[in-house]
């Protein structure tokens, strides 16, 4: 066997198993979901009626879908702002300032990522409880009468109430990623900036931010993708899409239609919609955040 053939066989031995797993667990489910979306199927019977694009026509006319899309991008927008601002703030503070016991604070900020999403949802449901919850009890200290706002049961507050737990749960992970990026920056750059008279803010804006931009971009894309594909967990636990579908997101609506109302074909069509919107959003963000990579030599 020639050296070229040996090299090809060596590379293929690493690529083919990964490609096989990718096809089995990613490509096949996507193709199967698109196939099911063309049928009227309960999900449990052997009988499937081919209806073509009717499920997608129903999506266009479904007002809940419009609400779900709005809610998904509402969470995306505010999660990106909230998580990235706080994660960047904590990362810079714990690396660029002489804070005692910085390692302890890293553990504290990262702790929510160790907790299950189910536990986080249940915990925050107690926080928002109108009668026994911590939030109303705290607000009652500043009011002459007891506060009993139904945070998760009022359409005005329900979506906003979902933001604190989702932001709180994501800060620590992205803080650790940004800390790693900041620590990779040479101290000589900061020393040179100080010699030139740059303030801490100017050092952050002209040294830190450009050099961690790639990590920031990856973090933003990760938040967007996990929100569009995984926000249904916290929604299902805390509100189940209520009140009156006010907090419904595409993932929770997919679960409701597929596994509660047994319209699996319609649920598959929602899944295809999530895939398309995720791809469009990711491509658009990559173009918006494109910039020249700064390399240190």
Which residues, at least 6 apart from 168, have a Cβ–Cβ distance to it below 8 Å? 112, 120
Rounded to the nearest integer, the mean pLDDT of the chain is 89
Confidence of residue 278 (pLDDT cuts 50, 70, 90): very high
Q: What is the DSSP string of the chain?
A: --HHHHHHHHHHHHHHHHHHHHIIIIIHHHHHHHHHTTEE--SSSS--EE-TTHHHHHHHH-HHHHHHHHHHHHHHHHHHHHHHHHHHHHHHHHHHS--TTHHHHHHHHHHHHHS-HHHHHHHHHHHT-TTT-HHHHHHHTTSSS-----TTTSTTTHHHHHHHHHHHHHHHHHHHHHHHHHHTS-HHHHHHHHHTT--HHHHIIIIIHHHTHHHHHHHHHHHHHHHHHHTHHHHHHHTTT-STTTT--HHHHHHIIIIIS--HHHHHHHHHHHHHHHHHHHHHHHHHT--PPP---
pLDDT digits (tens, 9 = 90+) for 131-186: 888 999 999 988 888 889 999 999 999 999 999 999 999 999 999 999 999 999 88
Q: Residue 152: its pLDDT value, please? A: 93
Say which residues have a Cβ less than 8 Å from residue 81's Cβ, sequence separation at least 6.
none
Q: How confident is the model at residue 254 (pLDDT cuts 50, 70, 90)?
A: very high
The Cα–Cα gap between 171 and 225 comes to 16
Percent of the chain with pLDDT over 90: 55
Q: What is the pLDDT of residues 203-240, one digit of tens each?
A: 889 899 999 999 999 999 999 999 998 888 899 999 98
* Residue-wise pLDDT tens digits, 13-25: 889 999 999 999 9
Q: Is the pLDDT of residue 297 over 80?
A: no
The whole-model pTM stands at: 0.90
pLDDT value at residue 37: 94
CB-based contact 252:240 (threshold 8 Å): yes
As a whole number, mean pLDDT of residues 82-103 equals: 88
**If you average pLDDT over each of 44-48, 110-114, 248-252, which comes out highest?**
248-252
Provide the pLDDT for residue 293: 53
């Amino acid at each position: 066997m020639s050296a070229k053939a040996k090299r090809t066989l060596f590379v293929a031995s690493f690529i083919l198993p990964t490609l096989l797993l990718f096809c089995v667990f990613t490509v096949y489910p996507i193709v199967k979901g698109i196939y099911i979306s063309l049928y009227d199927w309960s999900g449990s019977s052997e009988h499937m009626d081919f209806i073509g694009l009717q499920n997608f026509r129903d999506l266009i006319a479904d007002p809940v879908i419009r609400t779900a899309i709005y809610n998904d991008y509402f969470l995306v927008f505010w999660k990106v702002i909230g998580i990235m601002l706080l994660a960047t703030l904590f990362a810079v503070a714990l690396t660029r300032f002489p804070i005692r016991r910085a390692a302890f604070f890293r553990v504290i900020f990262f702790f929510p990522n160790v907790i299950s999403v189910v536990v986080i949802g249940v915990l925050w449901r107690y926080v928002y409880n109108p009668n026994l919850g911590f939030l109303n009890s705290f607000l009652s200290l500043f009011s002459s009468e007891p506060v009993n706002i139904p945070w998760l049961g009022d359409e005005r507050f329900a979506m906003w109430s979902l933001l604190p737990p989702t932001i709180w749960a994501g800060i620590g992970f992205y803080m650790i990623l940004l800390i790693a990026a900041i620590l990779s920056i040479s101290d000589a750059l900061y020393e040179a900036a100080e010699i030139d008279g740059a303030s801490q803010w100017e050092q952050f804006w002209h040294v830190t931010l450009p050099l961690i931009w790639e990590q920031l971009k990856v973090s933003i894309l990760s938040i967007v993708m996990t929100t569009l594909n995984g926000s249904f967990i916290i929604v299902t636990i805390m509100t189940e899409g209520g009140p009156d579908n006010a907090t419904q997101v595409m993932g929770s609506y997919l679960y409701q239609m597929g596994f509660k109302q047994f319209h699996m074909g319609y649920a598959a069509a929602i899944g295809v919609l999530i895939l398309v919107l995720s791809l469009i959003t990711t491509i658009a963000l990559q173009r918006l955040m494109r910039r020249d990579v700064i390399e240190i030599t």
